[in-house]
Amino acid sequence: MSSLNPVEPFDLIIFGGTGDLAMRKLLPAIYRRDEAGQLPDPSRIIGIARAPMEVSEFQQRLYSALNKYLGADPDETVWRRFSSRLSYLDLDVTDKTAQNWRGLHTLLEADANPVRAAYLSVSPRIYGAIASGLSANNLVTDDMRLVLEKPIGIDQDSANAINEAVGRYFNENQIFRIDHYLGKETVQNLLALRFGNAIFEPLWRREVIDHVQITVAEELGVGNRVEFYEHIGALKDMVQNHLLQLVCLVAMEPPVSLDVDAVRSEKIKVLKALKPISGADVLTQTVRGQYRAGAVDGVAVDGYEDELTEASNTETYVALKLEIENWRWSGTPFYLRTGKRLPEKRSEIVIRFKPVPHSIFSGLQPNGLRISLQPDEGVKLTTMVKEPGPGGFELEAKDLDLSFAEAFGGATYPDAYERLIIEVLRGNPTLFMHRDEVAWAWRFIDNITEGWQNEGQKVEKYFAGSWGPHGASNLLDRDGRAWQADL
Ligand code: BG6
């Protein structure tokens, strides 16, 4: 995974090349890597979408997108180099005929670069059609990489169908399923923290840890993705992938090496050990919320339903209590919550330790390890210390505070997509999901969705700018616990 491993010249085809993700994240990420001098010549980037367009227009759109999402006009020299790598082709991917694919065929076969990758930033419904079109037109090379964006399906069956469909033309080791949280610096640091330090492992177990909290809070609302979101909701959009991946990294056993199979198989064991939440249990172990109009950062914002023409029972917030049935974690609950239109963007994992067995002081609080994933990456260990002075033993909770920004001299980290795209080009699948991970995660989620349907569980409204519905506080309150103070 060293950043020093060179990237070989590549041909990267982006299906959905003019779409929101490509313009907002993928192409800016590749531009950034070019800016950092990491893209070898004569690498090429081929944008594909349905609408006919001159390459100059594609370049123009991208120039504006870079300005918008990187916050400034691109550097002139870098832009000249980067834009010269770009091509654009219109293609109806559902039509397999050679005539339809001729443009791509001609482009790829002339001066083919050693590495070929196709990034599918389109609806998962057409993943199979694209894989089949590439294959029928002899464009799949032996070590070509196929990158699949989430969501892989909307349930276990549809995910299996997608994996079968692409698996007909690509081997599992050629398929890179993206969960961009795995490309985040601090998410990778979880592995470093747990397995690069001897002090945590003896504490990492049910006897010492009272419970774990995982929060992924967003300020943003659903915005212009409302149509997509109506069919998905927070459980499938965030928990099935990002939050469950975080659960895996916190809960997994130490892998024997950093080898991709070693890490994946430990993660899969965690997913298999999740106690299903099904039937009426959803009513006590899950909370669905939906934001109503309110104010975020002092600015008035609409409610979720205001963007729709009719009432909706889609959750923009979800909280749940999950249990892992194995020796390490049995009896130590994991509380998860994620939502849109919360007061701030903040992702963090809090490990809450048990109280001291016998207290000789008053006012003790249990220790907590707070791992901040974004925006301020760092680790804090809440520790009880004596207040200075002659006034007797007054104890106060203070943090041992490791801020990554301070520790690494204000270094800025590349966006998760920058790292992930480079790993695709290098052919390193460690940071990507195996099809079994996707399937096991869906299995857990499908039980909940089925429970919600059968039990008619409704969303509970919360004000935009608040920390979510009351039900989410009650979820912990019932167990005599509370969400770590919402800072
Ligand atoms: C995406 C979800 O996967 O992750 C979005 O589809 C969400 O709804 C986004 O906003 C959050 O990512 P990040 O990196 O901003 O935490």
Confidence band of 224 (pLDDT split at 50, 70, 90): confident
CB of 185 sitting under 6 A from ligand 1: no
CA of 475 to the centre of ligand 1 (A): 24
Helix/strand/coil (H, E, C) string of the chain? CCCCCCCCCEEEEEECCCCHHHHHHHHHHHHHHHHCCCCCCCCEEEEEECCCCCHHHHHHHHHHHHHHHHCCCCCHHHHHHHHHCEEEEECCCCCCCHHHHHHHHHHHHCCCCCEEEEEECCCHHHHHHHHHHHHHCCCCCCCCEEEECCCCCCCHHHHHHHHHHHHCCCCHHHEEECCHHHHCHHHHHHHHHHHCCCCCHHHCCCCCEEEEEEEEECCCCCHHHHHHHHCCHHHHHHHHHHHHHHHHHHHCCCCCCCCHHHHHHHHHHHHHHECCCCCCHHHHHEEEEEEECEEECCEEECCCHHHCCCCCCCCCEEEEEECECCCCCCCCCEEEEEECCCCCCEEEEEEEECCCCCCCCCCCCCCEEEEEEECCCEEEEEEEEECCCCCCCCEEEEEEEEEHHHHCCCCCCCCHHHHHHHHHHHCCHHHCECHHHHHHHHHHHHHHHHHHHHHCCCCEEEECCCCCCHHHHHHHHCCCCCCCCCC
Nearest C-alpha to atom 15 of ligand 1 is from which residue? 218
The question of whether 242 is a catalytic residue gets the answer yes
Proportion of the chain above pLDDT 70, given as a percent? 98
Nearest C-alpha to atom 2 of ligand 1 is from which residue? 237
CA of 181 to the centre of ligand 1 (A): 9
Nearest C-alpha to atom 8 of ligand 1 is from which residue? 237
Q: Model confidence over 22-54: pLDDT tens digits?
A: 999 999 999 999 999 999 999 999 999 999 999
CB of 415 sitting under 6 A from ligand 1: no
Q: Which of 242, 304, 348, 413 to mutate to test the pocket of ligand 1 (most atoms within 8 A of CB)?
A: 242
- pLDDT at residue 262 is higher than 50: yes
Q: Model confidence over 194-214: pLDDT tens digits?
A: 999 999 999 999 999 999 999
Nearest C-alpha to atom 13 of ligand 1 is from which residue? 181
- pLDDT at residue 368 is higher than 70: yes
What is the pLDDT at residue 165? 96
- pLDDT at residue 462 is higher than 60: yes
Confidence band of 409 (pLDDT split at 50, 70, 90): confident
- pLDDT at residue 169 is higher than 60: yes
Q: Which atom of ligand 1 is nearest to the CA of 374?
A: 16
Confidence band of 6 (pLDDT split at 50, 70, 90): confident
Q: Which atom of ligand 1 is nearest to the CA of 416?
A: 14
Confidence band of 223 (pLDDT split at 50, 70, 90): confident
CA of 20 to the centre of ligand 1 (A): 13
Q: Which of 218, 232, 316 to mutate to test the pocket of ligand 1 (most atoms within 8 A of CB)?
A: 218
What is the pLDDT at residue 256? 96
CA of 8 to the centre of ligand 1 (A): 30
Single out the catalytic residue among 180, 211, 242, 434: 242
Query: Of 4-8, 133-137, 322-326, which range is least confident?
Result: 4-8
What is the pLDDT at residue 187? 86
With contact defined as beta carbons under 8 Å apart, do 457 and 288 qualify? yes
- pLDDT at residue 2 is higher than 70: no
Q: Model confidence over 50-80: pLDDT tens digits?
A: 999 999 999 999 999 999 998 888 999 999 9
Query: Of 20-29, 230-239, 289-298, 404-413, which range is least confident?
Result: 404-413
Which amino acid is located at 25 in the chain?
Answer: K
What is the pLDDT at residue 42? 95
Looking at residues 371-391, what average pLDDT do you find? 90
- pLDDT at residue 1 is higher than 60: no
Nearest C-alpha to atom 6 of ligand 1 is from which residue? 237
Looking at residues 438-467, what average pLDDT do you find? 98
Q: Which atom of ligand 1 is nearest to the CA of 347?
A: 16
Q: Tell me the pLDDT of the chain averaged across its residues.
A: 94
Confidence band of 486 (pLDDT split at 50, 70, 90): low
CB of 218 sitting under 6 A from ligand 1: yes
Q: Note the pTM of the prediction, 2 decimals.
A: 0.94
CA of 277 to the centre of ligand 1 (A): 24
What is the pLDDT at residue 357? 94
CA of 251 to the centre of ligand 1 (A): 22
